Structure 1
Amino acid sequence: MSIVSAAAKRSAYNRDSVLSASPARLLTMLYDRLVLDLARGREALEAGRWPHAWEHLRHADQIVAELASSLRVDLWDGAEDLLRLYGYLADLIVGGMIERDAESIRQATALVEPLREAWHEAAAQVPAATLAAGADLGVA
């Protein structure tokens, strides 16, 4: 199998995984990728590989923007606080990119990891029937 066809198959698999995922699974996938991008970005910053750092940190910032834009502040009392936290995370990530500061990225990671774990725990508690009926429940 050629490298191109393997990459194309992997890309199609990833796309299909996202398209068929429940809302809870999509959220945990975003958090998983956010942690990965932050780790890769920090490592690249520390190694002086600026283009790689920029790529990963820009993607991390885009994930935070997506999390913030999809947050339904009208459905949950704590949503406003989470939205402010997303704003702070974006500031840390962008500041880390501009200043090439790995410590800012470390701080962002320290904030994201407990959230990631909490969302994974919450997603694991959602019954499968509820996940299947997610659209009927108004889950974004």
Structure 2
Amino acid sequence: MTLQPARARQLYNRDAILSASPVRLLTMIYDRLMLDLHRAEKAQEAADWQAASDSLLHAQDIIAELSATLKSGIWDGAESLRSLYDYVRRALVNANINRNPSLTREAIALVEPLRQSWHQAAASLPAERPEATAALGGYVG
């Protein structure tokens, strides 16, 4: 029995997520967040409001999960990052409600440096070490 390409890709992606270290999972989540934001921006520019809404809602879900997993007792920067996540989430809600691509672009401008920083931090830490998770803000998948 041969898998269809879409099903094979789906299984590969699922396995990649399930086998990812916490550090790698965090970078994958940020990558997906940026993908959603760029898709939303493109859809807003094309006045494809349903596609924009779908991407913005998924991005909001990711932001909520990132915020919920921050551990203030492990990292003293957690509350500041949580405040930034809250700001971005509100911007995305308003971008969706008001169909405002400039708010989506603002979110992209705020999230992209974070994504790059987490990728740099992840690259500098051995993924198999448990303390690597704590060093990345306490995110524990």
**Fold conserved between structures, TM > 0.5:** yes
- Measured against aligned partners, the alpha-carbon deviations of 1:13-65 in whole angstroms (never above 9, x if no partner) come to 11100000000100000111111100110110110001110111111111101
The residue type equivalent to 1:28 in the other structure is T
Report the TM-score, using the length of structure 2 for normalisation: 0.89
What is the Cα-based RMSD across aligned positions, in Å? 2.2
Where does 1:13-28 land on structure 2 (aligned, <5 Å)? Answer: 13-28=12-27
Structure with the higher helix share, 1 or 2: 1
How far apart are 1:73 and its partner, in Å? 1.3
Instruction: Name 2:11's counterpart in structure 1.
Output: 12
- Measured against aligned partners, the alpha-carbon deviations of 1:57-86 in whole angstroms (never above 9, x if no partner) come to 111111101101111111011100000100
Report the TM-score, using the length of structure 1 for normalisation: 0.90
Does structure 1 retain, via aligned residues, the 8 Å contact 2:63–2:89? yes
* Pair 129,50 (structure 1): closer, same or farther in 2 beyond 3 Å: closer
How far apart are 1:128 and its partner, in Å? 4.3
Asked whether 1:87 is paired with 2:86, we answer yes
Where does 1:4-83 land on structure 2 (aligned, <5 Å)? Answer: 5-83=4-82
Gaps (5+ residues) in structure 1?
none
Instruction: List, as ranges, runs of 4+ consecutive aligned residues in structure 1 with deviation greater than 6 Å.
Output: none
Aligned mates of 1:70, 1:15 — CA distance in 2: 21
Overall identity of the aligned pairs, in %: 50
Number of residue pairs matched?
136
